[in-house]
Amino acid sequence: MPIENVSELVSILENAGELKRVKSQVDSDLEIAEILRRVMYANGPAVLFENVRGFDMPVLGNAFGSVKRLQLALEMEDFTQIGQRIADMTKMEIPSGFLNKIRKLPELSKMGEVFPKLENSGPVTEIVETSPSFNKIPILKTWHKDAGRFITLGLVATKHPETGVRNLGVYRIQILDDTHAMMHWQKHKRGAQHGEISKDRGEKIPAAIIIGAEPATVFSAIAPVPEGLDKYVFAGITRQKGIKIVKCKTQDLEVPANAEIVMEGYVDSSDIRDEGPFGDHTGYYTPVEPYPTFTLTGIMRRQKPIYLTTIVGKPILEDAYVGKVIERSFLPLIRMFHPEVVDFAMPAAGWFQGMA
């Protein structure tokens, strides 16, 4: 059975000797990030910080910082299976004629199994905060010259304002105060495109920042999937089982029912402020640049959530391993359109990102 939540992931990693617990008190301001960097550079395990100063919420880092941990999280040895499943589905022909359709039902039913299932409630709806604040969450400051605290592994959910197609993206988010943050989505990102369409319509774009979910959902948010493919469907294809989703309380969005925390709000693309600097995956600080503002309108969370995060900096860190999974998983799709391609690589020295 596929992994359903972060707690299950913790148990699986711990049983495999791939996770260590830190019971000593640590600080979310620089200290956790420094510990994680040292562990990552030493090819160490995932780390669960159980005692974070000022918070009653543990912090999990480096959960995906090795090929083995990603194999455990996604429950597969060969990551090309992900792309091959999509390729196989696109080749499936819908037959004409009643009897032919009947014969095809087993294959067609398998396609339906990967679609998301809307639920009335879920673990993430256990607590609904009516006075939401970013300051209740152990969001890290990771580098000395960073402008402040940044969410680095938040899955940002939006919908295309015209088509309604759902998207997930991972964009860094700088916290400004209790209820405001900066959404660092670059112009070519789909979230930013959704925001611009909403701006042209005189609207703000509903958005939800999701912390922790099924590992396949985290991966789907990072992966550069084809335009128009619902990221929740991609997560279902990855894990061969549809995820459960629930409605947000203050915005017209659906989010994973098994998430740890969901921060609901909206992005106002006409409210532009300075964001950064931030110590980035290049090993350098990105400069101050203008980005739109996110306003927090509500929080849903588990009773005992785990704050899942990541640290970026000079390679090789956790994100390089995720980049390797993306590289392998998309090889079958690239070969489907370009059969002459035998293989390709996105090495850590070349940024290993979607811009490769």
How many residues are recorded in the chain? Answer: 356
CB-CB neighbours of 192 under 10 Å? 22
Helix/strand/coil percentages in the chain, nearest 5: 30, 25, 45
The residue type at 98: F
Task: With beta carbons less than 8 A apart as the criterion, state whether 167 and 160 touch.
Answer: yes
Closest among 281, 72, 55, 108 to 184, alpha carbons compared: 281
Residue with tokens 């392998």: 328
b/e for 106-130, b at 16 or more Cβ within 10 A?
Answer: eeeeeeeebebeeeeebbbbeeebe
Dihedral in degrees, nearest 10, Cα atoms 29, 32, 33, 39? 170
User: In sequence order, which residues have a C-beta less than 8 Å from that of residue 225 and are 6 or more positions away?
Assistant: 231, 234
The active-site residue, picked from 27, 29, 271, 280, is: 280
Please state, in angstroms and as integers, the Cα–Cα distance from residue 171 to each residue in 188, 191, 335, following that order. 12, 9, 29
> Is the Cβ–Cβ distance between 182 and 174 less than 8 Å?
yes
State how far the Cα of 315 lies from the Cα of 65, in Å rounded to an integer: 12
**Segment holding 294, helix H or strand E:** strand 289-301
Residue with tokens 């600097």: 277
Q: Is 252 a catalytic residue?
A: no
DSSP class of residue 153? S
Q: Can you tell me the distance from the alpha carbon of 301 to that of 295, in angstroms, rounded to the nearest whole number? A: 18
Which residues are part of the catalytic machinery? Answer: 280
